[in-house]
Amino acid sequence: MTHIEDPALIESPDRPVVPMNDLSRAISRDRVALSGALANVLDSGHVVMGPNHDAFQQELGAYLNLDHVLGVASGTDALELAIKAVMPKGRNVVVTAANAGGYTSTAALRAGFVVRYADVDSDSLCLSATSVQSSLTADVGVLVVTHLYGNLTDITTLVEMCHASGIRVVEDCAQAIGARRNGRVAGSFGDIAATSFYPTKNLGAIGDGGAVLTNNQKHADTVKQLRQYGWSSKYQAELPGGMNSRLDELQAAFLRSRIPQLDGLNGRRRAIIARYTEASAGGPLQVMPAVGEHHVGHLAVARSSRRTELRAALVRQGVQTDIHFPYPDYKQPGFRPVSQSLPVTELASSEIFSLPCFPELTEGEVDRVCNAIGTLI
Ligand SMILES: Cc1ncc(COP(=O)(O)O)c(C=O)c1O
């Protein structure tokens, strides 16, 4: 995660900084379990595709109630593999949002497909049936829906609409692992899903990692082959587009030890955002709500047309902030975009910013952020 380089944020004993994140706290909380996991891997002698990898796939599958969880090396790899596995023959366009950090663009371009951007809904900042409708032409094979900020967006209509046109739906659950709507988890609505275990994610590793999720046996078999060189069996490269993307034993063992905590930690994130929502009532900040089990509070996102000024005021009070995400994908040369302008995406990218939100924030720190929000006029 990035940090604001601002001299006003230099910590002093009388004014400690409330950070955007501090991974050392979760590591120290989980130290005994993580050390046990490390010892278990060292003792086993297996380093990739061993017993911890298999057990993790099973345990996360059981937690999510999904048939197939396939460990891979990162969330971006998971997106690439998922898109490749479901792209219908004869189509080559991926439609997605331009406000979700560019991970889908990276993955789809690496897979050799064309990316087209649709605007997002002005409340959820996620794709909706209305916002994508005009983009779903006959060459579109895949729609990637990101459950942004932890919000399992209601994609039932989107999925119906796509399936009626032979378009497959990939859910990006990297920010929404554990989110549920009417008993169904994020990742179970589309054809396939991708997630990330980047250390700051709600279920984070101590390094990189990711997974592809699906209930579809055929898609799972394709991903299994593609994540290991396209092999059907050892050294037999059957499928084109294979890569080496494996979740190593250490990360799998660390992640196994953290699954049981996930629901509790997601609840803590929601509680922090609820405090910020309360503190911002009547003031110049609108904090996006994170209420109910469909939202796992990955980020506490606020909006204001006076973003620069308000962020500076928060920084002066020792509160770090960040922007997720500042540049629409179609404005980034690295994604070889065609020129376009999406009004909801653009307005949001000029107004949004994130407040500190991770489960290990102390109550004192949450109070400090709330007090700082309360001084904004
Ligand atoms: C929404 C979203 N998708 C995909 C990714 C990519 O995951 P990774 O960093 O593991 O490649 C991330 C985070 O980094 C993300 O926030």
Domain co-membership, 104 together with 246: yes
Domain co-membership, 228 together with 363: no
User: Residue 234: its pLDDT value, please?
Assistant: 96
Domain co-membership, 245 together with 255: yes
User: Residue 248: its pLDDT value, please?
Assistant: 97
Q: What are phi and psi of 221, to 5 degrees?
A: -65, -40
**Smallest CA separation from ligand 1 atom 10, residue:** 75
User: Residue 376: its pLDDT value, please?
Assistant: 97
Ligand 1 touching residue 304 (CB < 6 A): no
Ligand 1 touching residue 141 (CB < 6 A): no
Cα gap 84→87, rounded to integer Å: 6
Ligand 1 touching residue 103 (CB < 6 A): yes
User: Residue 83: its pLDDT value, please?
Assistant: 98
CA 210 to ligand 1: nearest atom = 10
User: Residue 16: its pLDDT value, please?
Assistant: 82
Residue 1 lies inside a defined structural domain of this protein? no
Domain co-membership, 172 together with 280: no
User: Residue 198: its pLDDT value, please?
Assistant: 98
User: Residue 1: its pLDDT value, please?
Assistant: 41
Q: Which CATH number characterizes residue 340's domain? A: 3.90.1150.10
The count of structural domains within the chain is 2
CB 26 within 8 A of CB 198: no
Secondary-structure breakdown of the chain: helix, strand, coil percentages, each rounded to the nearest 5? 40, 20, 40
Ligand 1 touching residue 342 (CB < 6 A): no
User: Residue 81: its pLDDT value, please?
Assistant: 98
Q: Which CATH number characterizes residue 114's domain? A: 3.40.640.10
User: Residue 92: its pLDDT value, please?
Assistant: 97
Ligand 1 touching residue 80 (CB < 6 A): no
Which regions of the chain are under pLDDT 50? 1-5, 7
**Smallest CA separation from ligand 1 atom 5, residue:** 75
